[in-house]
Amino acid sequence: MRTFDLIVIGSGGGANLVSLAYELGYTVALIEEWKLGGTCLNRGCIPSKMLIHPANVSRIIQEAEKFYIKAYQKSINFPQILKRINKTTDTESNDIKEWYQEKRKGLAFYSGHARFISNRIIEVQGEKITAEKIVIATGARSSIPLIPGLKGTPYLTSMEALRSRLLPKKLFVIGGGYIACELGHAYGALGSEVHLLVRDRALLTREDGEISKNFTEAFSRRYQVHFWTVTEKVEYKKKKFTLYLKDAEGKKSKISGDGLLMATGVMPNSDKLGLENTNISVNEKGFIKVNEYLETAVPGVYSLGDVVGNYMFRHSVNFESQFLFQALFGKQRKPIQYPPMPHAVFTNPEVGSVGMTEEELQKKNISYVVGKNEYRKSAMGEARLSSKEEFVKLLFHKQTRKLLGAHILGEEASTMIHQLIYAMTFGATAEDLLKMIYIHPALPEVIQKAAEKASDGF
């Protein structure tokens, strides 16, 4: 049985550990059964943004008339857009694979499925291997509900939606979270008639309540959203989907179209690892249980990223892998301490967020002050004809005046939020945000005005 210093299962964020350990002279094995690079490169962050950016360009052209510019789109070459995306990500994934396949002393790459046969022994490609340290970083995949008639139909998940060369004329999206809103916008702006079928009252309901409310209003003006709607049955005949629906009042209806995207959440890739042959524990949803050191219940076996589910972002698993590398090879045994964890939703309008929502503050009985300002009440917002829904919202502790949460809905939200991530990370107060000089008339003046309004409320 071959023994290594480190085995990493999964080539996404966990692969950072492989290269760092190898450079230090440790013997390392990487196991991956699919494309190298993980979710982010192959079916997540990178390809989706490569699709969303052309969609945003298309949307700008469609709405140019509000600036008294008459413009039209002669055509949208959807297959070529997807060809570019797939060529870029496949090339990068193959380059990573070629690097691992080169003969390197002390580094082994296994292309296949990993399965634990005991606490510390893994079987892959018919071979049994073990290591002093094992890291499970197998990520997550789309979770598909058991809707009668759905199985066996050519529905899309986020993976297929980012590889399909066919643009549906009429696309149904089941779900109301960030994947539904990102890909729904992308396909809609590029020419599909998009219908979102949502079980809830609004979209992006995990965001701050005002963000969710305003986003829902803005998104619903462009695309058709069916709230409080349950899909009871799916039929697929003659290349057409028919969905049988029921609303909150029990009224039934059906709709037909040529595309269906399932965006109903994700589930961890822990169910086929043979964990039943180990003492490793999972929670009721299948996420691997780890402690504050990212240790599983088996000594020497660690886990991070989406399969753990502390945070479901590439930037969070990058942080975890850096922490774990220091813990395993830097001999720094200390609990992981996450700084404020930001996120963005790259739809239209865009969302950027960090820290607590107003609802979370209320639930924890934390006294706070709100500073809120609309984009359109700034010079750049006026120049851009920003909508009434776009705004910045800052939440400060009433006594310490420190920033507890920041939420942005509007253009460049994913970029604008970074100033506030920095502020939260270093314990900035409302006054700290007002000490700096803001460039006039740049868009961050919206943040300045929101901080000013908060200062008036203490």
Whether residue 104 is predicted with pLDDT greater than 90 in this model: the reply is: no
Whether 257 is in a domain gets the answer yes
Closest residue by Cα to residue 208 from 405, 429, 363: 405
Give the tens place of pLDDT for each residue, 258-295.
999 999 999 999 999 999 999 999 999 999 999 999 99
Bridge partners, residue 131, by sequence: 4
Whether 92 is in a domain gets the answer yes
How high is the pLDDT of residue 83?
Answer: 97
Chain Cα centroid distance, residue 266: 10
How high is the pLDDT of residue 250?
Answer: 94
How high is the pLDDT of residue 54?
Answer: 97
Reported confidence tier of residue 350, pLDDT bands at 50, 70, 90: very high
Whether residue 331 is predicted with pLDDT greater than 80 in this model: the reply is: no
Number of domains composing the chain: 3
> Hey, CA dihedral for 110, 114, 115, 121, is it positive or negative?
positive
CATH code of 411's domain:
3.30.390.30
Whether 278 is in a domain gets the answer yes
Whether 149 is in a domain gets the answer no
Residue 64 CB coordination number (10 Å): 13
Whether residue 153 is predicted with pLDDT greater than 80 in this model: the reply is: yes
Where in the sequence numbering do the catalytic residues fall?
A: 440
Whether 441 is in a domain gets the answer yes
Assess whether 7 and 135 both reside in one domain.
yes
Assess whether 132 and 201 both reside in one domain.
no
> Hey, CA dihedral for 41, 45, 46, 51, is it positive or negative?
positive
252 contacts 230 by C-beta, under 8 angstroms:
no
Assess whether 321 and 220 both reside in one domain.
no
CATH code of 103's domain:
3.50.50.60
How high is the pLDDT of residue 231?
Answer: 97
How high is the pLDDT of residue 68?
Answer: 97
The span from the CA of 129 to the CA of 139, in Å, is: 21
Assess whether 193 and 297 both reside in one domain.
no
Assess whether 165 and 109 both reside in one domain.
no
Mean pLDDT of 59-86: 96
Q: Which domain holds residue 236?
A: 158-264
Mean pLDDT of 429-457: 97
Mean pLDDT of 224-244: 97
Mean pLDDT of 301-316: 96
Give the domain-ending residue among 277, 298, 329: 329
How high is the pLDDT of residue 281?
Answer: 97
User: End-to-end distance of the chain based on CA atoms, in angstroms?
Assistant: 66
Give the domain-ending residue among 264, 281, 313: 264
How high is the pLDDT of residue 299?
Answer: 97
Assess whether 412 and 303 both reside in one domain.
no
Mean pLDDT of 42-48: 94
Residue 329 CB coordination number (10 Å): 16
Assess whether 27 and 133 both reside in one domain.
yes
Provide the whole-model pTM: 0.95
Assess whether 233 and 292 both reside in one domain.
no
Assess whether 118 and 6 both reside in one domain.
yes
Give the domain-ending residue among 264, 282, 316: 264
Burial of 149 (0-12, 13-18, 19+ CB in 10 A): middle
Assess whether 257 and 201 both reside in one domain.
yes
294 contacts 280 by C-beta, under 8 angstroms:
no
How high is the pLDDT of residue 47?
Answer: 96
Whether 337 is in a domain gets the answer no
Give the tens place of pLDDT for each residue, 400-434.
999 999 999 999 999 999 999 999 999 999 999 99
Mean pLDDT of 67-95: 96
Of 219 and 458, the structure prediction assigns the larger pLDDT to 219
Assess whether 134 and 179 both reside in one domain.
no
Average pLDDT, the chain: 96
The first and second tokens of residue 415, run together, are 């970029």
Whether 447 is in a domain gets the answer yes
Whether 359 is in a domain gets the answer yes
Assess whether 451 and 370 both reside in one domain.
yes
Reported confidence tier of residue 103, pLDDT bands at 50, 70, 90: confident
Whether residue 332 is predicted with pLDDT greater than 80 in this model: the reply is: no
